Amino acid sequence: MYIPEEQIAKILTYEALIPAIRQALIDYSTGRVEQPLRQILRVKDESGSPTGWFATMPVISGEFMAVKTVTFYPGNAALSPDKALPTHLATIELLARSTGEPLAVMDGRRITEMRTAAVSAVAAEALAPNAKTLGILGSGVQARSHIEALRHINPAFRIPGAIRVWSRNSQNSAIIAGEMNATAVPIEEAAACSVVVTVTSATEPVLQGKWLVPQSLVIAVGAVGPHLRELDDEVMRGHLVAESRQGSENESGDVILSGAKVQAELGEILASTAPPLPPGRIVFKSLGMAIEDLTGAVIVWDALKRS
């Protein structure tokens, strides 16, 4: 069975996904998930110029197994309208753990988009429950999904003026601000919010610690790769919480190049197995994990079986 994105969009909701992702993060940090690091191949064209990357992400959890294949081609954003493609494309295969039987193949783009934002929503709910303002750095698909997911868990973000958006492309930030009832602002104003989400395609730091308020939560989603960064060293002096300790130490340039040390996984905090964090700025590094893709795929699969 192949399940296209249009069908997934009608089934998958943040109401179902956010609590499921919360439990998945606990399961991961308490050893109930089998999941290796993703394997990434860097892709070059015939002349040897880099064009994108191709990754595989397998996982076993509960009654299911899954593998996601995902590609990232930033050049897709510049294609002509008649050839337009998303920069991220993905496919998820869901299998039965008991028999190895393939159950479904799903378009993975929508699941990836929503599970990434759902992880950030879980982090914000746990680490900054009383936040009043939200700064978004970036203006792509993830900027929109993060606004939607974070509004779901925090009513304060639904108040006009609570969400401030910045992008290197001021036209794009104005568009997303208009669509999402937010405000387009300079980067310093977006960075001065209670919660700051970085969802950029930056390869060098764009967020500077001097712009942050002392008790802020920074949710860093972009810059997946050991040589890529969104955050400067001053930002990284905050208390570092990771989605995955292993993933952050191997795949995050912000962590590796700053020398920052992971103090806890988010799942450990949710399970109350980590010591309380001391007061001060918190940085949550999100890289995306296969267990999150499996979680979204199972919600879709279960809904289709009941229908």
CATH no. for residue 180?
3.40.50.720
86 or 216, higher pLDDT: 216
Model pLDDT for residues 41-58, shown as the tens digit of each residue: 989 998 998 898 899 999
- What's the pLDDT score for residue 78? 77
User: Does 143 lie in the same domain as 99?
Assistant: no
Whether 150 and 226 map to the same domain: the answer is: yes
Instruction: Kindly state whether residues 25 and 61 are assigned to the same domain.
Output: yes
- Report the pLDDT value the prediction gives residue 233, as an integer from 0 to 100: 97
The answer, yes or no, to whether residue 32 has pLDDT greater than 90, is yes
Q: Do residues 136 and 180 touch, judged by C-beta distance below 8 A?
A: no
Same domain, yes or no: 162 and 202: yes
Query: Do residues 137 and 284 both lie within one domain?
Result: yes
Mean pLDDT of all residues in 152-156: 97
Does the pLDDT at position 83 exceed 80? no
Q: Are residues 134 and 280 in the same domain?
A: yes
pLDDT of residue 301: 98
Average pLDDT over residues 256-275: 97
Domain extent, residue 159, equals 117-289
Count, residues in the chain: 307
H helix or E strand, kind and range, residue 31: none
**Number of domains into which the chain is organized:** 2
Show Cβ contacts of residue 267 under 8 Å, excluding neighbours closer than 6 positions. 25, 26, 27, 28, 29, 30
Distance CA 159, CA 176 (A): 16
* pLDDT tier at 224, thresholds 50, 70, 90: confident
pLDDT at site 80: 65
Backbone angles phi, psi at 262, to 5 degrees: -70, 125
